[in-house]
Every structure is written in C-alpha cells, then in structure tokens.
Chains A and B, each alone.
Chain A
Amino acid sequence: MQHDEVIWDIIGNKQFCSFKVKTKSQNFCRNEYNITGLCNRSSCPLANSQYATIREEKGQCFLYMKVIERAAFPARMWEKVKLSKNYEKALEQIDENLIYWPRFIRHKCKQRFTKITQYLIRMRKLVLKRQRKLVPLSRKVEQREKRKEEKALIAAQLDNAIEKELLERLKQGTYGDIYNFPIHAFDKALQQQDEDSESESEEEDEEEDEDVGKREFVAEEEVDESDLSDFEDMNKLRTSSDEEEEEEESSEEEEEMETKGSRSKGKSPANGAMVRKKRAYVEIEYEQDTEPASKSRSTS
C-alpha cells in the first residue's frame, strides 16, 4: 500500500529530504522527475504515487508517467513516451496519455513542455548567431609587453623624429612655395658664419641634434626675434597654448651666445610673449627689476 500522506508528512515537513533545497522564501526540489521544481505536496514525485513529468534529452522531449500499480517495481516504475517534434501534436499526445489524470498534473505537464520547446528554439538560434570567443590573457605576457612598449616609446623619441621628418620635407621642397624661407640665402649666411668661427656653427648643429628637449634659460638672440616678428602666424601660435614650447626652443638656440642668463631667468616666464618682440623694452625692464631691490636696500 502506498501511503503518500505519511511520506509527505515525513519528508515534506518534519524530517529530512535529500532533494529539498531551502531558501529564505521558497523550497525547491532537486529531484529530476519533479514537474515544477518546487517542493510542494502536489509536486513531490516521492509523495505522489500517480505522477507525470516531461523531460528532454538531446533535443528530444519525453513524457514520463508513474502509476501506483508499478510502485513495487522500481525498475519499471516510469513509463517513457516519446513526444512528437510538432508542438501541437505533442500537446495532443500529452492530453491523450494523461486523459483521466488530475487537472493539475496535466496543466503543469503542458506548461513544462512549452518552456522546454522555447528554450530549445533559443539554443538553436544562438548557435547560428555570432558567438563571443574568450581568449585568455597571460598576465606575465601582458606585463612584459607593457614594459616593452614603454621602453620602445622612450627609445622612439617621437617628437624629435617628427620634427626631423618635417624639416626634411621642407628641405626637399614638398611644400612648394607656401613657406618662403630664403633657403639659399640662409645657407650662404651659414657659410659666412662658418668662415668666421667654425666652432660656433658646429655647436649649433650639434645642439640641434642633441640638445633638443633640454631646457636652458638663456637670454634671447637678436636674429631670432627679427625672424619671429616677421612671421604672422606666430601671433596665432602664441595665443594658443603654445608658449611653453616656444620658450624651450628659443632658449635652446641661444646657448652659445653670451648669457645675461641670471637676470632673464626670472624675466621671461613672468612677462609673457609681448615683451620679447620689442627689444628696447627689455633693457628698460632690466633696470626696473634692479630698482625695487635697491629701494629695499636703501630703506632697510
């Protein structure tokens, strides 16, 4: 005799059921034959001697039925019926097999079958879509590459390389007549300078290769200022955030000239761009700089 009530009394409420999973709000049943997945009096496959489920194997759905007549033969307890692939036909099959069964089980079987077919359809669709391939990264390798990249960046000296390339292109004349730098005149002037003092010009060339990037605060040179002031675009360049670059470059160039260095150190960043163009004012400002110092000395 099958005593469902007693069984449910024991496993459902009082004692232990190995298939039961308890959470705060719900009890779940891990039994494979459970139709709803919850731990209920009507869904428990152990506590119901007449029970039916739908299970799927490799894309095929089966209807499993258990009746009380076979309760004594565990090996033959579950009757397995293969359902057709057609959704409506399968539903009819379920109806036909569970014809005089309780409403609850019939309803839940159909629900479960619907869910299963839906997820099978989605699986088939996903396989056709693009799948994301996960590639594992090795941390060592990534760190190594990062370090190599940093060192390569330092070795590349990008700014220098770009400037060199641009000057090369200017020399070769790819820009045509846009920039009218008097190339030949400059070369002649350079030759004359060479005749006068060889060492100075050599220093100039060397410095352009080596010292670009170093910062030295030195006084300004006459030649540069006249060139710069002729060039209209310099205004635009100065008003943009380019002042720092300019200061560096102009100061590099003047290394070989005598230094009024100490005085100009404080002067150039503070007074900004406008002062440089007009040479006369520069000298005046030297005097102004020293005046307050002398004043303070006199008072103290």
Chain B
Amino acid sequence: DHQGGHSSSTTSNPSLPKKTQQEEEDGAAQQTEQKPQRSEPAAASFPPTFSVSEIKNKQRRHLMFMKLKQEKRKQKMQLRKKRKKEREALGDKAPPKEVPKTIENQRVYDETTVDPDDEEVAFDEGTDEFSAYFNGLTNPKVLITTSDRPRGRTVKFCEQLATVIPNAHVYYRRGLALKRIIPQCVARDFTYLMVINEDRKVPNGLVLCHLPEGPTAHFKVSSVRLRKEMKRRGKDPTEHSPEVILNNFSTRLGHSIGRLLAALFPQNPHFVGRQVATFHNQRDFIFFRFHRYIFKNEKKVGIQELGPRFTLKLRSLQKGTFDSKFGEYEWVLKRHEMDSCRRKFQL
C-alpha cells in the first residue's frame, strides 16, 4: 500500500515532503540514479520511488540509506551468482575470465625496456664498470658511513647493514668532506662507499658511490625497520655471503641500478648459509629484504625474515664519483615530468 508505506516512513515529518515524494512518483518513470536523489527500484520491501535524501530526520534517513545499500548489495550478489551459474553451465565454451586491470598491466610501455636477448645490452653489460665483479675478478669491499653527527637509530641501522653486507666496515664521519674521503678509500681498496644521510633522527637518504671512477646513485630511503622491530624474526645473520635476488628491473636504467646493487655482494654466495638478500622493484620503489630460507620439499620453501628492511627510491644517477656540483648526471628524478603520469615508471 503506497500511502501506508509512505506514512510509516514519514510519520515525524511535516506534510510538505510527502507532497514532493508523490510528485516524484508521478514524474519518475525511469529509475535514474543521481547522487543527490536516489530513486529506488521497485523492490519487494520498499515503496517505489522515493528519495532517501528527502527525509528530514537524520536517523531515519540514515536507516533508510543503510537499507538501500543492503538492497543494492543483495542485487549485486544475485547478479554475480547468476553470472557464475551461466559460466558453469557453459563449461568449456564460456568466455575467458576478464583479467582485472592493475597498474602493472596498464603500465606505459617504456622504450628502454630491455629485451632478454638484446645483444647490444649484453655487450654493454659485459664491458661496463661492474663487469669485473660479475666475472669474478674483484671482490667488493664496502665502507658505510653517515652524515654528520648521526643519532642512535642511524648508527644502529649502519651496524645492521654491515652485518648484512659481507666485507663491510662502518666508520664515523666526523665532519669530513666526501671528496677527501674518496681518494683515501680508493687507496685502501674499497670498492663501494655508502653514505646514509640522516634527517630528524631518522635515516632518509643513501648515496651509493662505486669507487674507482664508478657511478654514484642517490636514493631516498624510507620505512626503515631495524632488527628488533621485526615480528617473528630469526636469529642474527651469520657471516656467510647471502644470495641476491633482483626482481623487476626491466629498463636500461633499472638494469644499471640492479647491477649496482648486486655488486655490493660477493659473487659466490655460500649456499650453506641459506641467506638471501632481495631487491624487489615495484613501481619505482626498491624494497630490500633479508631472509633465511629453508626448502621443506620440492615445492615448498619457508622464509624467515632477519635483518633490516628498507625501501629505496632512486633520485639521481651520476657518472663518476660523488660530485654534486660539477658531476655529469645520467638520470635525475624530475618530478613534474616523471610523476605526472600514474602509469609510467622509470626503473
């Protein structure tokens, strides 16, 4: 009963809205759904076509809106069930399920994406600065330091990094200029210089400089978790060299950064130690994790996180050792150009 339905919902309201609802009934032949006025479809439990927003009482309006939402959800579920039944009924002849769109699916194609069997790239990589490592000629030796006057968190982070990276040494900065440190490092056979920049008692930047005339990469560091903050972590990492996993470095730039990061670790990992360091690139963020793994059987592996975790975002890549003023930049993050498109990534 129309009137009865209306009166039950609008008992505490003045008569004016009732009139407008009736007008709406008459007028609303179609059931268009616009944001301010939601006219309901003729469902069993509802009187047809009255707008929820017309109810003046807030509580009642809220109740009505909730009911409306439930109705819609029910209908959606019914539709889904119907579709699923149809699909099962058709069996093999059913059209294939649509793949949902993800950002990775919709990524703008980058011209510098590396083909796996590209000869030019292979040749370049065979002769660049890192080829010495990947051929096993030199071993990495890393010097970790910070910006001036590091706070406790940064110091702990440095120490933990030094346990993760084999053959790494931590030195205090004490206000020395980087340009003066670099020749000394070269003299002492260091291959990498890692400077962790600190801001407001938290590490927030990383300068990774490959020493004998190598490229310098500047990263932004975020979400640093020290070892004691990790849940369900294992014991401290041992001295064995870990394996390295590099995921999703697809473009030329990504490749060079990947090689830069991989050359931090020695080339012959100790499988006995069962430790693995992962650099996973997702949407231009490089996630670093350090795990210990164990193979339970052929198809199952268990991993347990040890060690610190952090994420890096590349800000600039410069040829030559660290020289912010006169260095030649190979790649710089330009926010207005590169961050404008949500589907375009650089690494």
Contact = CB atoms under 8 A, between A and B. Distances in A.
B247 A242 contact: no
Given A240-B235, A244-B232, A167 B282 contact: no
Interface of A: 129-130, 141, 145-146, 148-149, 151-153, 155-156, 158-159, 161-163, 165-167, 169-170, 175-176, 178-179, 181, 183, 186, 208, 224, 227-228, 231, 233-234, 237, 240-242, 244-246, 249, 253
21 contacts: A148-B285, A153-B285, A155-B102, A155-B103, A155-B282, A158-B280, A162-B276, A165-B278, A170-B298, A178-B271, A178-B272, A228-B296, A237-B294, A240-B234, A241-B232, A241-B233, A241-B234, A245-B302, A249-B296, A249-B300, A249-B302
B278 A162 contact: yes
A126 B313 CA distance: 32
A208 B296 CA distance: 14
Query: How many interface residues does chain B have, given as a range?
Result: 35 or more
Contacts of A158: 278, 280, 287, 289
Given A176-B271, A237-B294, 14 more contacts: A129-B175, A146-B222, A149-B311, A152-B284, A152-B285, A153-B282, A162-B245, A165-B245, A166-B295, A170-B298, A228-B296, A240-B235, A241-B232, A241-B234
Nearest to B176: A130
Main secondary structure of the interface of B (DSSP, over half): strand
A240 B304 contact: yes
A179 B274 CA distance: 11
Nearest to A170: B295
B106 interface: no
B297 interface: yes
Contacts of A153: 282, 285, 287, 311
Nearest to B304: A242
Contacts of B272: 178
Contacts of A224: 297
Contacts of A234: 296
Contacts of A146: 222
B188 interface: no
Interface in B241-276: 243, 245, 247, 271-272, 276
B31 to A, nearest CB: 36
B228 to A, nearest CB: 14
A153 B311 CA distance: 9
B234 A149 contact: no
A198 B332 CA distance: 53
A208 B299 CA distance: 9
B271 A159 contact: no
Given A181-B295, A237-B294, A241-B234, A253 B276 contact: no
A148 B303 contact: no
Interface in B289-347: 289, 291, 293-304, 311, 313, 335
B296 A152 contact: no
Contact of A166 (B276, B285, B335): B276
B280 A161 contact: yes
Contacts of A179: 295
Contacts of A130: 175, 177
